[in-house]
Amino acid sequence: MITAAPDPRHPASLAAPRWQQAWRDAVRDPRELLSLLGLDALAGRVSDAAAAQFPLRVPRGFVARMRHGDPHDPLLRQVLPLDDEMRPVPGYGLDAVGDGAARTGTGVLQKYRGRALLVATGSCAINCRYCFRRHFPYSDETAARKGWREAVDLIRADASVQEVLLSGGDPLSLSNSKLAELTDALAGIPHLRRLRIHSRLPVVLPERVDDGLLAWLGSLPWPVTLVLHANHANEFDATVDAALQRLRAVGTHLLNQAVLLRGVNDDVDALAALSERGFAAGVLPYYLHQLDRVAGAAHFEVDDAQAKTLHAALAARLSGYLVPRLVREVAGDTGKRPL
């Protein structure tokens, strides 16, 4: 008898994938992170209260892209917990973009016509300090619970839904078999036309783009768009380039959305470099978001006047297709609000 070849999407009999080991090896101690960068003198700036509220997590490969000895490194600033996070600021709250009001089922958000967003998981490989879902009740609200049944039933019952968005957390933190469980269930819904995945993992943990993930993506019956999240050109390196090339080779469309962040990318040179470096890796700029006003992130805000000035300077410098749309998400709006 000839045995069937194993499905690479379901590697139950194999050792833990390399990306999972890299995930487990992530830096979780802010003072260890500073020591790795030769910045022990900055240990006094670390906020233990902020780290307790929203723990530090950053893959070592991402740490390796930070500039040694530079306290102003734009990648470090995105992940280091500071006292600024603990200062209450008027206008900053726990649900900055109206996720609660958009809930239609467990882990299912429907803000815009024709689309359903699934909060697939609360897990991320990196904890970005400006995260708009840093206070989200993931323990109660993940669409993957109970085999995705509630989410799939809601989508099946709503013929207006043509596109499913996988978000989180980071949906690619789920195993290939768990992702396949969802898409196998969605495949029988005739009104679905597109799948979109929002993920930071190919940038911060490029090991995640393994053979099993590529096999899953290549097997899907819909066009797939992967919206990456990189805020600075230094987030790209040869390992990220290779991962993105593999994703493109199986037909995945790659876009990038960034957040305008004070001290990270709030100058036209940094924004231009991000667009050009991403495009060189096969990624088209999509959105440049104004900061979502989530509690703990106010120190990253760039005011609207400066944001518009930067965006105009970027448009004057680059070809149009390299200029992301400057937008803000406003609770209750029917789409992202252009600025």
CB 216 within 8 A of CB 250: no
pLDDT-based confidence at residue 13 (cuts at 50, 70, 90)? very low
Q: Which residues, in sequence order, are bridge partners of residue 338?
A: 327
Q: How many CA atoms lie within 13 A of 294 on its CB side?
A: 22
β-bridge pairing 103-105 and 337-338 = unpaired
Whole-number percent of the chain with pLDDT over 70: 95
* Residue type at 113 in one-letter notation: R
CB 284 within 8 A of CB 246: no
pLDDT-based confidence at residue 4 (cuts at 50, 70, 90)? very low
Q: What is the mean pLDDT of residues 292-304?
A: 97
* Residue type at 72 in one-letter notation: H
pLDDT-based confidence at residue 17 (cuts at 50, 70, 90)? confident
CB 213 within 8 A of CB 165: no
The candidate with the shortest Cα–Cα distance to 297, out of 260, 256, 331, is: 260
Q: Which residues, in sequence order, are bridge partners of residue 198?
A: 227
Q: Give me the pLDDT at residue 330, please.
A: 93
Q: Where are the alpha helices (DSSP H) in 107-171?
A: 149-157
Q: Give me the pLDDT at residue 128, please.
A: 97
Considering the chain, what is the average pLDDT of its residues?
94
* Element of type H or E holding 270: helix 268-280
* Residue type at 92 in one-letter notation: Y
Q: Give me the pLDDT at residue 11, please.
A: 47
Four-point Cα dihedral 34, 37, 42, 47, nearest 10: -30
CB 59 within 8 A of CB 26: yes
Tens-digit pLDDT profile for residues 135-159: 988 888 899 988 899 999 999 999 9
Q: What is the mean pLDDT of residues 36-60?
A: 96
Distance from the Cα of residue 171 to its chain's centroid:
9
Q: Which residues, in sequence order, are bridge partners of residue 103?
A: 109
Q: Give me the pLDDT at residue 15, please.
A: 59
Q: Give me the pLDDT at residue 119, please.
A: 93
Q: Give me the pLDDT at residue 145, please.
A: 84
Q: Is the pLDDT of residue 8 over 80?
A: no
* Residue type at 165 in one-letter notation: L
* Residues of the chain by 3-state class (helix, strand, coil), percent to 5: 40, 15, 45
Burial of 194 (0-12, 13-18, 19+ CB in 10 A): middle
Please tell me what DSSP assigns to residue 197: E
Q: Is the pLDDT of residue 327 over 50?
A: yes
Q: Which of these ranges, 33-42, 89-98, 209-218, 230-239, has the smallest mean pLDDT?
A: 89-98
Burial of 213 (0-12, 13-18, 19+ CB in 10 A): buried
Q: Is the pLDDT of residue 1 over 80?
A: no
Q: Give me the pLDDT at residue 3, please.
A: 33
Please tell me what DSSP assigns to residue 327: E
How many Å apart are CA 222 and CA 165, to the nearest integer?
A: 12
Q: What is the mean pLDDT of residues 258-264?
A: 98
pTM to 2 decimal places: 0.93
Q: Is the pLDDT of residue 12 over 50?
A: no
CB 235 within 8 A of CB 206: no
The beta strand positions in 141-180, using DSSP E, are 163-167
Tens-digit pLDDT profile for residues 162-208: 999 999 999 999 999 999 999 999 999 999 999 999 999 999 999 99
Q: Left (φ > 0), alpha (ψ -120 to 50) or beta: where does 38 sit? A: left
